[in-house]
Amino acid sequence: MLGIPLIVLEPKRVAAYFAGTAKRTKWNIAQLIASLFEELRLRVPENRKPWVREAYFMAMFDAVATGLAWSGGVTEPQQA
């Protein structure tokens, strides 16, 4: 191993971080993130129907949401 610590945040903990806002769906959270980071505005996918596959760039917004939740003080993460 490289000795790099790894922190795992459960998706529900990340979603709970954004629960204080009206932005609760992944798409709404992506829009919120795009409003904070101008560079990402063009990558927000269109809102999808439940039977449509998730857009490729949604993983990027998931990663940014996780980083924001972690830096915002989500506590007690699981150590991996």
Distance CA 19, CA 13 (A): 10
- Is 1 among the domain residues? no
| DSSP SS3 for 46 | coil
Please say if the pLDDT value at position 58 is more than 90: yes
**Residues 6+ positions from 55 with CB-CB distance below 8 Å:** 45, 46, 48
What pTM value is reported for the model? 0.77
Could you tell me what percent of the chain has a pLDDT over 70? Answer: 86
Name the residue range of residue 53's domain. Answer: 7-79
Which pLDDT value is given to residue 77? 47
The more confidently predicted of residues 68 and 1 is: 68
Number of domains composing the chain:
1
Q: What is the pLDDT of residues 11-29, one digit of tens each?
A: 888 888 888 766 578 888 9
- Is 70 among the domain residues? yes
